[in-house]
């Protein structure tokens, strides 16, 4: 399916039914921290979901912080569409970010008519793949598959190999003693501040969680560039989101 011609509903409707039931006793080969994280994120007997539909609200920094509402579908194969509505000076800007069929794109319009941002190409695709890899924490079945790989530097700091449409990255997770996600980080292709595209540390702080359909996922996140450095707080953070609902299939 083409990136630009696929709707949120089409991406969701084409996702297959959930796979086999999750069993924590099948995680004997992964580090202890990864077992704790996955057992916390996926209730025993829950089918390994092929997709999640998220409904959310928050703030996005476009020079200044602006409120948004959005819906997003993420598929286990590493595809996503984020459809949002932002208000700038009282006027609505609506559109979508996509990573479908191995291609990334963005298309945003003022009042649904006047184009304000359109982008595609190899750099957008590579950056969009990194976004899906980071957002795999909203679809933990992406991290519980047989093709997943885990390493750990200690019981609280984990690294998971995540593939999105042929793009592979190493996602670093920090978890507490119960397996609750605290932070995530990965090198993501991007151009913060208008610089040339390059790998930049991207990450998020998880401030709350909730359970939906047997999955416990972060429900409040602060995310942005330069994660792990002082620049994250001063200039890198650009996305604050609260998940209002999540449906898995």
28 φψ region: left (φ > 0), alpha (ψ -120 to 50), beta (else) = alpha
Q: How far apart are CA 214 and CA 180, in angstroms?
A: 15
Q: What per-residue confidence (pLDDT) applies to 5?
A: 65
154-213 per-position pLDDT tens digit: 999 999 999 999 999 999 999 999 999 999 999 999 999 999 999 999 999 999 999 999
- Give the pTM: 0.96
pLDDT of the residue at 243: 99
- Phi and psi (nearest 5°) for 198? -165, 170
What pLDDT score does 3 carry? 53
Q: Which residues of 27-56 are buried (b: 16+ CB within 10 A; e: fewer)?
A: beebbebbbbbbbbbbeeebbbbbbbbbeb
Rg for the chain (alpha carbons), in Å? 17
Q: Maximum distance among all alpha carbons in the chain? A: 54
User: Which residues of the chain have a pLDDT value below 70?
Assistant: 1-5, 147
The DSSP bridge pattern shows strands 157-164 and 149-154 to be: antiparallel
- Domains within the chain, CATH numbers bracketed: 8-248 (2.50.20.10)
């Amino acid at each position: 399916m083409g990136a630009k011609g696929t709707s949120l509903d089409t991406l969701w409707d084409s996702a297959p039914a959930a796979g086999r039931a999750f069993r924590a006793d099948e995680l004997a080969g992964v580090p202890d921290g990864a077992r704790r994280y996955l057992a916390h994120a996926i209730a025993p007997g829950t089918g390994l979901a092929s997709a999640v539909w998220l409904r959310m609200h928050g703030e996005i920094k476009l020079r200044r912080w602006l409120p948004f509402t959005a819906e997003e579908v993420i598929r286990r194969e590493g595809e996503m569409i984020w459809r949002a509505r932002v208000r700038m000076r009282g006027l609505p800007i609506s559109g979508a970010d996509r990573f479908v069929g191995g291609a990334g794109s963005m298309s945003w319009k003022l009042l649904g008519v006047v184009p304000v941002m359109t982008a595609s190409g190899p750099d957008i695709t590579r950056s969009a793949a990194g976004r899906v890899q980071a957002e795999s924490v909203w679809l933990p079945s992406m991290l519980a598959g047989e093709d997943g790989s885990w390493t750990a530097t200690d019981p609280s700091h984990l690294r998971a190999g995540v593939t999105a449409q042929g793009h592979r990255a190493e996602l670093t997770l920090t978890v507490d003693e119960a397996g609750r996600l605290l932070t995530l980080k990965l090198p993501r292709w991007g151009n913060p501040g208008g610089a040339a595209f390059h790998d930049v540390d991207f990450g998020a702080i998880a401030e709350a969680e909730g359970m939906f359909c047997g999955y416990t996922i972060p429900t409040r996140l602060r995310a942005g560039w330069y994660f792990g450095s002082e620049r994250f707080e001063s200039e890198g953070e650009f996305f604050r989101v609260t998940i209002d609902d999540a449906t898995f299939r």
